[in-house]
Amino acid sequence: MKIIFTLFLSIFLSFSLLFQEKSFAQKDSTTAKAKPEYEKVSGFHRFIFGENFRKEWAAPTKLKVIKISEIKGGLIPVERGGRASNTFTEIKR
């Protein structure tokens, strides 16, 4: 379960970086937080709903920048898809 959570978190952070930082193309790594607002809830909210990985989602994480144009000879994004909580990007060589 922890491996699935870690994998999901890394994928989520990778996609969220696309919208947070504009000049990451020249860096080989960057730091981001998946959901920093999860740590900013009231004591009553924490009492009712619990911790539920709040610290993990709000923790700064160093991520490697992936250049899809350089992976496996160059990958091209073709289509974005999915609904609600399941999203994907279809890529081709």
- The predicted pLDDT at position 52 comes to 82
Report the pLDDT averaged over residues 33-48: 87
Backbone angles phi, psi at 24, to 5 degrees: -80, -10
CB 15 within 8 A of CB 32: no
Among residues 59, 61, 63, the alpha carbon closest in space to that of 24 is found at 63
In percent, how much of the chain has pLDDT > 90? 4
Q: Has this prediction a pTM greater than 0.85?
A: no
Q: What end-to-end distance do the CA atoms of the chain give, in Å? A: 32
